[in-house]
Amino acid sequence: MNPPAGAPDHPVRARRARTGTAAKTSAASTFALVFGVAALICVLTAVLSVVGLVLGIVGVVLGVVGLRMTRRPGVTGRGVAVGGLVLSVLAVVLALVAAAGVTTVINNQSAVNRLESQVQDLRENLSN
């Protein structure tokens, strides 16, 4: 199917034709993706869940800013912003679930007693 007369045949060329310059990817979108990936990696390591939570929140903010910036003519990166936003939200949710799990275990006295006994058994086995 051919585009209508006078319409560009490619989306990037369409933006270039409207603005007169090449389209630029939003920096906020790119940083949202970077922060989203970093946050997800940190949360999945479990030790750095708190760092992942902070990075995820920053990624969410940057993702929203990136989506808003892509509305401007000559600015691209909507898919990058959406990807960063999804990864950041996923990282925040996983970090909150991990925090809730740790809090539940710590507040459960029988679970704490089991952990203490296992640590004590490990210490005894290492001493031998």
| pTM above threshold 0.95 | no
Task: Find all residues with CB under 8 Å of 30, minimum gap 6, and list them.
Answer: 66, 77, 80, 84
Residue, of 13 and 101, whose pLDDT is higher: 101
Residue 52 reports pLDDT greater than 90: yes
The more confidently predicted of residues 23 and 35 is: 35
- Confidence (pLDDT) at 17: 44
At residue 16, the pLDDT reads: 53
What region, left, alpha or beta, does residue 72 occupy, with left being phi > 0 and alpha being psi -120 to 50 degrees? Answer: beta
